Amino acid sequence: MRFFAGLLFAVLVQGIVAASELPVAVTPGANFYGQETWEPGKLRRWMRNDGDLRLQNNSGRLNIDLRFVAESFRIARTLHVSMGGRVLFEVTVPPAAPLFVAVKDIPLPPGESEIALSATPGPDRVSQFLGSADDRQVSVAFGPFSVIDAHSPQAQLEETAAFPEASRRVAGLSTLENAAGDLRRQGRLLEADAVYQEVLASRQINPSTYLWDGLSLVALDRPDDARPLFERGSRLGGLDVVTSSVRDACGRLLEYLGQSELLAGRPTDPAKEFRQSGEIYRAVALYRSVLAHDPQNLAASYWLGLLSALAERPREAIPLLDVVAKRSPAGSADAMTAGWLEQYLGNRPGVR
């Protein structure tokens, strides 16, 4: 695990594709514009729509994951990924913010294959909305495409992000802790936990690591794994503000684990299996769908509130936690913890 976390960090920081030795070449074909460099140094390629990716497999039959980041022009769009007329994957791509996408376990025969990418709604003419001379019609911009062996240890942890990238460098955190935080804020919790585990095996551990990794494990439906982290966090020494805050939070959460009706599955969580498998993006999509029809749904409010809190998106998390605080029995562990977490998020500086 320590080796994998270090390898993952190298991928994140240096942009190295761990599976670059796979004998597979990926080339954008029809309906893609040329590659551009955006500030601050991002490589992007706009698609008009119905873009073709050509994959050349110079080996035997493989199963691959196709990986890229994508961001939509002006509005959110649904991206469809198809092969041989069969839809492999769909995801909502947000505007003006990159989303990491991993299309999992694609069977790839020897020779040349094609993957089709299409966006709904279709493209917009840039000049119409930006008042520029750019007359292109565009829908979704893509970062460089890469592939990885679908059966590799890294591929087993990688999932499409639930939230767009929110990269931050927090003073006082190690490079690894900042990398884990970036993954956590995207909802890539299996990967985040792998990097946090590397940190926890080291000598340099920021107090917040116990809290964030513990909450990530709770969201993955692994409260028994979270408990030792909250125990360690609740015993931290030190009088500085960060340590005191984390010590109090871990102590509260440690007690809460054994008292929560919602953690015990009452009421039933409709996306529990997605959380358990680390497919947080699918859980988030399902919770949002449930809440669109039933805005007071307790389980969906709770879990989407917690996942939004992990993503450090308080504007989304706080109203959901407020539903939990008001709909749970008065004085219950869930009501009190939801109210406390609302206040905790509202008081944290530097989050959106």
Quick check: is 36 in a domain?
Answer: yes
Of the three residues 151, 176, 191, the one that is the final residue of a domain is 151
Q: How far is CA 320 from CA 155, 160, 176, in A?
A: 32, 23, 30
Quick check: is 69 in a domain?
Answer: yes
**Which pLDDT tens digits describe the chain residue by residue (352 residues)?**
444 444 444 444 333 334 446 899 999 999 999 999 998 889 999 999 999 999 999 999 999 999 999 999 999 999 999 999 999 999 999 998 999 999 999 999 999 999 999 999 999 999 999 989 999 999 999 999 999 999 999 999 999 999 999 888 998 999 999 999 999 999 999 999 999 999 999 999 999 999 999 999 999 999 999 999 999 999 999 899 999 999 999 999 999 999 999 999 999 999 999 999 999 999 999 999 999 999 999 999 999 999 999 999 999 999 999 999 999 999 999 999 999 999 888 775 444 4
Give the pLDDT score at 350: 46
Give the pLDDT score at 313: 95
Structure tokens at 192: 């985040």
Burial of 80 (0-12, 13-18, 19+ CB in 10 A): middle
Domains contained in the chain, number:
2
Of the three residues 151, 184, 204, the one that is the final residue of a domain is 151
Q: 93 near 79, Cβ under 8 Å? A: yes
Quick check: is 213 in a domain?
Answer: no
Give the pLDDT score at 259: 96
Sheet strands (E) in 94-201: 99-108, 111-120, 124-125, 137-138, 140-142, 146-149
The domain that holds 314 is classified in CATH as 1.25.40
Quick check: is 27 in a domain?
Answer: yes
Would you say the C-alpha torsion 275, 221, 263, 197 has a positive or negative sign?
negative
Quick check: is 261 in a domain?
Answer: no
Give the pLDDT score at 24: 95
Model confidence pLDDT, tens digit, residues 108-124: 999 999 999 999 999 99
Decide: helix, strand or coil at residue 145.
Answer: coil
Give the pLDDT score at 21: 61
Give the pLDDT score at 103: 98
- Taking residue 114's Cβ as centre, other Cβ atoms within 10 Å add up to 13
Q: How far is CA 80 from CA 29, 121, 241, 249, in A?
A: 16, 11, 47, 41
Query: In angstroms, rounded to a whole number, what is the distance separating the alpha carbons of residues 276 and 224?
Result: 13
Give the pLDDT score at 40: 84
Give the pLDDT score at 345: 85
Quick check: is 140 in a domain?
Answer: yes
Task: State pTM to two decimals.
Answer: 0.90
The domain that holds 128 is classified in CATH as 2.60.120
Give the pLDDT score at 19: 41
Give the pLDDT score at 348: 59
The range of the structural domain enclosing residue 343 comes to: 272-347
Query: In angstroms, rounded to a whole number, what is the distance separating the alpha carbons of residues 320 and 334?
Result: 13
Of the three residues 136, 151, 166, the one that is the final residue of a domain is 151
Quick check: is 340 in a domain?
Answer: yes
Sheet strands (E) in 121-162: 124-125, 137-138, 140-142, 146-149
Quick check: is 142 in a domain?
Answer: yes
